[in-house]
């Protein structure tokens, strides 16, 4: 018997227990309404793993979509992360809140086509540019919630790489982009006999950190900023604006340059991973969230801090967002479901504010020299011998 022939979650688990001799009693613990995941989210499902969920905040946000105070759901088993983000939320909220701006860069799918010669490749490029309106019509025919925003074309000999960018409303939209690109590729094959070698030619750069995603943007692009007085920095963050600013320049810029990093920040992915897991986002996109810049400056003795996230693929409908716990976390943020693209933009702004809060708190801890002490205190004094 193989797993694919077993129809229920419990029977699969019992089969594995018998085959491996391992008791899976904790994996078996999950709410009945999670069984929907076996139909839509997870093949060969045998149960669920538990990730602790904490909350940080409230954090005051002033965005175009997110306005007011929000509690951030953070799913993590890293001690000190929620406490650190919570401290950052307190510091920026006492300082008047976080200003946030979001822009829809579009989710991308980047097929590679193959022609017969370099000359044919350039002729194909010209054809794509002239026929963009028709390609946009074909894409939109696959979903009333999708539109083709733009295309970027690069040629290497007989290979033509095309990066299509789509607006997918409140869905993260990777599947929608794939279906639309597949229909476009079929049309191209029928019309001009150019074959699509692969729907994904690594020009979309899905689930990979890259400079193209950094420079062009992918999903949502988010900017956030806050200004903190010397008193707030001293009383809440236990350090000074000058120390945080100096550390940010040295660590986020010089350290990143020395290491060849594409992320000029302290730890964007910590907050992004925790919010992604809590709200049902595709966890593999966390690697794209590692891209971005933290910038600090001194303004009349106060600390100015800003973050830039150029590559944040998020959605509030589809994927894991409909799972029971994840949908509750989205409702906690007031962004569950579709609302003409506004909910996904709001979620992106909230994530941007949360990233800034966590970034600020870690930089303060490093500037103060308390990072090891905080982890030792909050991780339960685990000792390895």
Q: Which residues span the domain enclosing 272? A: 53-104+209-378
Pair (228, 191) in one structural domain: no
Q: What is the pLDDT of residues 76-90, one digit of tens each?
A: 999 999 999 999 999
Q: Which residues of 278-297 are buried (b: 16+ CB within 10 A; e: fewer)?
A: bbbbbeebbbbbbbbbbbbe
Pair (338, 371) in one structural domain: yes
Q: Is residue 58 part of a domain?
A: yes
Average pLDDT, stretch 135-153? 97
Is 375 assigned a catalytic role? yes
Tell me how far apart the alpha carbons of residues 138 and 131 are, in angstroms, rounded to a whole number: 11
**Final residue in a domain of this structure, among 172, 198, 224:** 198
Pair (165, 57) in one structural domain: no
Confidence band (pLDDT; 50, 70, 90) for 33? confident
CATH code for the domain of 303: 3.90.770.10
Q: Max alpha carbon distance in the chain (Å)?
A: 72
pLDDT at residue number 32: 86
Q: What is the DSSP letter of 161?
A: E
Pair (174, 241) in one structural domain: no
pLDDT at residue number 299: 85
Residue 385 has pLDDT above 50, yes or no: no
**Final residue in a domain of this structure, among 170, 198, 226:** 198
Strands (DSSP E) contained in the chain are: 53-62, 67-75, 98-109, 112-114, 147-156, 159-167, 195-198, 218-228, 263-264, 292-299, 302-312
Q: Is residue 25 part of a domain?
A: no
Pair (322, 180) in one structural domain: no
Q: Is residue 203 part of a domain?
A: no
pLDDT at residue number 35: 85
Q: Is residue 39 part of a domain?
A: no
Average pLDDT, stretch 218-240? 98
Pair (344, 246) in one structural domain: yes
Residue 382 has pLDDT above 80, yes or no: no
Average pLDDT, stretch 232-244? 97
Helix (H, G, I), strand (E, B) or coil at 108: strand
More confident residue, 291 or 2: 291
User: How many separate domains does the chain show?
Assistant: 2
Pair (77, 184) in one structural domain: no
Residue 31 has pLDDT above 90, yes or no: no
Q: Which residues of 82-121 are buried (b: 16+ CB within 10 A; e: fewer)?
A: bebbbbbbbbbbebebbbbebebbbbbbbbbbbbeeeeeb
Pair (88, 116) in one structural domain: no
Share of the chain above pLDDT 70, in %: 96
pLDDT at residue number 57: 97
DSSP string, 163-187: EEEEE-TTB--HHHHHHHHHHHHHH
Q: Is residue 73 part of a domain?
A: yes
Q: What is the pLDDT of residues 263-306, one digit of tens each?
A: 999 999 999 999 999 999 999 999 999 999 999 999 899 999 99
Average pLDDT, stretch 335-356? 96
Tell me how far apart the alpha carbons of residues 251 and 203 are, in angstroms, rounded to a whole number: 30
Pair (343, 266) in one structural domain: yes
Residue 375 has pLDDT above 60, yes or no: no
Average pLDDT, stretch 1-9? 82
Q: Which of 17, 123, 182, 375 is catalytic?
A: 375
C-alpha distances (whole Å) from 79 to each of 3, 53, 249, 268, 360 are 36, 12, 26, 16, 17
Average pLDDT, stretch 179-203? 98
Q: Is residue 34 part of a domain?
A: no
Chain mean pLDDT for the chain: 94
Residue 272 has φ and ψ, to the nearest 5°, of -65, -45
pLDDT at residue number 377: 66
CA 63 from centre of chain = 18
- Percentages (nearest 5) of helix, strand, coil residues in the chain: 45, 25, 30
Q: Is residue 143 part of a domain?
A: yes
Is 191 assigned a catalytic role? no
pLDDT at residue number 372: 56
CATH code for the domain of 146: 3.30.70.420
More confident residue, 339 or 214: 214
Q: Is residue 363 part of a domain?
A: yes
**Final residue in a domain of this structure, among 175, 198, 221:** 198
Tell me how far apart the alpha carbons of residues 114 and 155 are, in angstroms, rounded to a whole number: 10
Q: Which of 206, 225, 282, 288 is catalytic?
A: 282
Residue 229 has pLDDT above 50, yes or no: yes
Pair (222, 252) in one structural domain: yes
Pair (169, 298) in one structural domain: no
CA 7 from centre of chain = 33
Confidence band (pLDDT; 50, 70, 90) for 36? confident
pLDDT at residue number 17: 94
Is 129 assigned a catalytic role? no
Q: Which of 11, 17, 78, 103 is catalytic?
A: 78
Pair (192, 216) in one structural domain: no
């Amino acid at each position: 018997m193989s797993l694919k022939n077993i129809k229920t979650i419990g029977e699969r688990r019992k089969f594995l227990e018998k085959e491996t001799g391992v008791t899976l009693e904790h994996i078996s613990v999950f709410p009945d309404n999670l069984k929907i995941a076996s139909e839509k989210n997870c093949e060969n499902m045998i149960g669920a793993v538990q990730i602790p969920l904490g909350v940080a905040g409230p954090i005051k946000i002033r965005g175009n979509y997110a306005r007011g105070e929000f509690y951030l759901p953070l799913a993590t088993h890293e001690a000190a992360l929620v406490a650190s983000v919570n401290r950052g939320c307190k510091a920026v909220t006492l300082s008047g809140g976080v200003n946030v701006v979001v822009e829809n860069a579009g989710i991308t799918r980047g097929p590679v086509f193959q022609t017969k010669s370099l000359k044919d490749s350039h002729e194909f490029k010209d054809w794509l540019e002239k026929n963009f309106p028709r390609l946009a019509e074909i894409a939109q025919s696959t979903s009333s919630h999708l539109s083709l925003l733009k295309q970027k074309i690069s040629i290497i000999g007989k290979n033509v790489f095309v990066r299509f960018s789509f607006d997918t409303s409140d869905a993260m939209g990777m599947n929608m982009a794939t279906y639309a690109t597949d229909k476009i590729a079929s049309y191209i094959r029928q019309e001009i006999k150019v074959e699509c070698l692969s729907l994904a030619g690594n020009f979309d750069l899905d689930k990979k950190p890259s400079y193209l995603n950094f420079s062009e943007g992918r999903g949502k692009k988010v900017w956030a900023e806050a200004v903190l007085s010397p008193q707030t920095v001293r009383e809440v963050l236990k350090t000074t604006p000058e120390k945080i600013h100096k550390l940010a320049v040295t660590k986020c810029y010089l350290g990143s340059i020395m290491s060849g990093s594409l992320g000029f920040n302290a730890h964007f992915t910590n907050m992004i991973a925790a919010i992604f897991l809590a709200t049902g986002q595709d966890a593999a996109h966390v690697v794209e969230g590692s891209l971005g810049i933290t910038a600090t400056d001194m303004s009349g003795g106060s600390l100015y801090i800003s973050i830039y996230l150029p590559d944040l693929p998020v959605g509030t409908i589809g994927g894991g967002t409909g799972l029971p716990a994840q949908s509750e976390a989205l409702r906690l943020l007031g962004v569950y479901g579709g609302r003409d693209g506004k909910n996904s933009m709001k979620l992106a702004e909230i994530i941007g504010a949360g990233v800034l809060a966590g970034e600020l708190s870690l930089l303060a801890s490093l500037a103060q020299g308390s990072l090891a002490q905080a982890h030792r205190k909050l991780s339960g004094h685990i000792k390895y011998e």
